[in-house]
Structures are given as C-alpha cells and as structure tokens.
Amino acid sequence: GPNICATRGVSSCQQCLAVSPTCAWCS
C-alpha cells in the first residue's frame, strides 16, 4: 500500500514507483 512509500520518505508518485511498482497510488 501507500504506507510503505511514506515510511521510506517518498513524497512523489514517481519516487514511489521507483521504490516499489506495487505502490502506484498515483494511478
């Protein structure tokens, strides 16, 4: 879910996708 991205300090959609494709909350 989106939580993993927030936990890793990711704040943007592209950065989130770079961390994990399963974290595509921008879609």
Name the residue range of residue 4's domain.
1-26
Give the chain's largest Cα–Cα span: 19
- The span from the CA of 14 to the CA of 24, in Å, is 9
Can you give the pLDDT at residue 16? 75
pLDDT for res 5 = 62
pTM value surpassing 0.95: no
pLDDT at 20: 74
The per-residue pLDDT for range 1-27, each reduced to its tens digit, is 556 666 666 777 777 777 777 766 665
As for how many domains the chain has, the answer is 1
